[in-house]
Chains A and B, each alone.
Chain A
């Protein structure tokens, strides 16, 4: 299905919110792909980081939220550091997670369901980053 573009679809509330929460102008991106090239987790992502920004430029926030990309993101911030146009890709990922959670997505961590043995095995830092990533 072709993406149908018009000015209403481009400037959705969600797209504006994404830019506001992340504090970044997605239109600065000129699609060089440096973010994707340096991302350590890209192989596990449904949509690579540069394409997330591209879809955001087209106002396709729902399509992005349907992917696993922002959940796979390790928040290592390599992308944002390397971006030649100072687009905070990592910040966009964080904003996407917040929007997804605020939209009422279920609690994907389900810490309560983990057994005490499992919790013992789990490194503390993993639990902390998990909370940080999923709840902000």
Chain B
């Protein structure tokens, strides 16, 4: 029989206050297989671990049961402990007598009895545990970053500068994302484009970065270290290898359309480049609005193109790439003003969202940086900013705080005042949230120096009256209702995930929360990883955040990728479910229940085959298998039955 050592942890008083350790030891010391039993105040401490190591060596133990907290916390600790003492780490088991016992009970007698049963069942499992070795997998040291806003750019640069290849995929014709649209950034008021474009240029010139703009991920298969990604390269209507970005075509194109980059305020042509600093410096044809594509007449761009790049080719191309890690950095959108009926539903031209106001403030924007309202181009003299529009409103819109609106609204009010000296900005807010380096000081400067009037209260309605917008609110600090006849209103609408995120997360097999933001593996300790190994997160796709936070997190994700790539081979948990070929009939029931596509039926051999690397050891197949051919390593039917018997008091 195996010689098992049982080690009980007091966890300070976390366990010992509710579980009578002495009584438990008395009850367990003669249990079959137990060669040694001992307790200690903190088993996870260095002396606690030394104690386990010593006993393994002195007594020649070949099984260890640590009775302490959840294995999600310290399984790795104790695996390393026993391994250091020369024991196979998969012969170490943890009996969770804290989260599943002491923390949830008050009655010491009952809790002690339950703890004894839990430990007995784990001893039963340990008796049948076999030595296992991690499965080794090869790794492709190339990363794919999806989304080329500042998050994607930063991640790509960090990985590429570490010497690994990166493919940067972007849906739009140019990289840059939302940050390229911003005017100036809080709290330093440096020009957004001025600080972003050097990074964009670095991306375009980097020998390790392959840029795929105007492209979308359409299929993902494989697993950590070995993903296969299919990318659709959308037809541009011209040959980008030939085009030199001179822009003559966009000059001559007669078809004018509202520019998406300028939030519909400025114009672009049917053949266009989204903005002057676009990377790559290439144009695309908007097929839906191109006169030639619709009627066959025009073709001016083709005539004027000095390098004959334009071919009107509408065929999308598909490419397959093999990568070892994927970073999802798909960014955000703002809640559409059209969907907010109480604030005009997008029908009042002088009620705009924050991103539109960014374009109005931007030196490269449709007004050249002069603050002019969209309806008649007048300079607004009384301008109202509303915060928490759709955010923090679980009854009607979204429950969460969009985090950046407080700061960008203060910035908007300040920049407005810097441009229109005799104008008056008003900000309606619910709470000012200015957590961040230099943020509170920035807010106070706006009030003190720029005389921005901050009014604490939510606006209930606004309406057009002649050429004014009447804003009705309250100041809850003075209990006065407030009415402002404003020339223009800016809504800080909620941050929402960008379109298409649901489809993409299905391809990547990663989870999203109820609002569509990417879910992290652990909110505090694994904030840049998804629950799917090899897929990482960066930027606003995960939750609203500002530029410094985005850049930090993007670098964090890049460092996780580099850590992964630094491994010679990847190690995969060996607690997987194989196939006993002598028993398997190839019925395929297990292949249907497997959530990881790890099991495939081989019709010729009438057997199920397992991709051990894909198997995450959930055990669904083992439970579904009618013949017992699918047995999970160290969780065999025999082990489970023995555990149940022990729990029910019939074990041993």
Contact = CB atoms under 8 A, between A and B. Distances in A.
Interface of A: 1-7, 10-11, 25, 27-28, 30-31, 50-51, 54-55, 57-58, 60, 85
A5 B477 contact: no
B328 to A, nearest CB: 39
B426 A30 contact: no
**Of listed A3, A5, A31, residue having the most chain B CB within 10 A:** A5
A60 B475 CA distance: 13
B448 A5 contact: no
Given A5-B484, A54-B478, A31 B456 contact: yes
Interface in B344-389: 381-382
A10 B478 contact: no
B453 interface: yes
Contact of B484 (A4, A31, A51, A55): A4
24 contacts: A1-B481, A3-B483, A4-B482, A5-B426, A5-B482, A5-B483, A5-B484, A6-B424, A6-B485, A7-B381, A7-B382, A10-B424, A11-B424, A27-B452, A28-B444, A28-B447, A30-B444, A50-B477, A54-B477, A54-B478, A55-B478, A57-B453, A58-B482, A60-B480
A94 to B, nearest CB: 21
Given A4-B485, A5-B484, 8 more contacts: A1-B481, A3-B481, A11-B424, A28-B448, A30-B454, A54-B478, A55-B478, A58-B478
Nearest to A59: B453
B453 A6 contact: no
B475 A30 contact: no
B459 to A, nearest CB: 12
Q: Sorted from nearest, which 5 A-B pairs have the closest CB atoms?
A: A7-B424, A2-B481, A2-B483, A54-B478, A28-B448
Contacts of A1: 481
Given A3-B482, A7-B382, A27 B424 contact: no
Nearest to A60: B480
A58 B480 contact: yes
Contacts of B426: 5
A85 B448 CA distance: 10
B422 interface: yes
B258 interface: no
A27 B480 contact: no
Given A5-B483, A5-B484, A6-B485, A54 B424 contact: no
Nearest to A3: B480
Interface string B457-496: 0000000000000001001011011111100000000000
A27 to B, nearest CB: 5
Contacts of A58: 453, 475, 478, 480, 482
B451 interface: yes
Interface of B: 381-382, 422-424, 426, 444, 447-448, 451-454, 456, 472, 475, 477-478, 480-485
A5 B475 CA distance: 12
A2 B482 contact: yes
Given A30-B447, A57-B453, A7 B422 contact: yes
A7 B444 CA distance: 20
A31 to B, nearest CB: 5
A55 B423 CA distance: 20
Nearest to A29: B447
Nearest to A47: B478
Contact of B453 (A4, A10, A50): A10
Nearest to B446: A27
Given A31-B477, A54-B477, A6 B451 contact: no
A27 B484 contact: no
Nearest to B483: A2
Contacts of A5: 382, 426, 453, 482-484
Contacts of A85: 444
Contacts of A10: 424, 453
**Of listed B422, B426, B447, B454, residue having the most chain A CB within 10 A:** B447
A2 B382 contact: no
B472 A2 contact: yes
A8 to B, nearest CB: 9
Contacts of B381: 7
Given A2-B480, A5-B426, A25 B448 contact: yes
**Of listed B422, B456, B482, residue having the most chain A CB within 10 A:** B482
A7 B484 CA distance: 10
A27 B382 contact: no
A6 B448 contact: no
Given A51-B478, A58-B453, A6 B382 contact: yes
Nearest to A48: B478
Contacts of B424: 6-7, 10-11
Contact of B448 (A7, A11, A27, A51): A27
A56 to B, nearest CB: 10
Contacts of A7: 381-382, 422-424
A66 to B, nearest CB: 14
Contacts of B478: 51, 54-55, 58
Contacts of B382: 5-7
A54 B481 CA distance: 13
A6 B481 CA distance: 14
A5 B382 CA distance: 9
A104 B485 CA distance: 34
**Of listed B426, B451, B454, residue having the most chain A CB within 10 A:** B451
A57 B475 CA distance: 12
Nearest to B423: A7
**Of listed B475, B481, B485, residue having the most chain A CB within 10 A:** B475
Nearest to B486: A6
Contact of A27 (B447, B456, B475, B481): B447
A57 B422 CA distance: 17
A100 B423 CA distance: 30
A85 B451 CA distance: 15
Nearest to B476: A31
A54 B423 contact: no
A126 B475 CA distance: 38
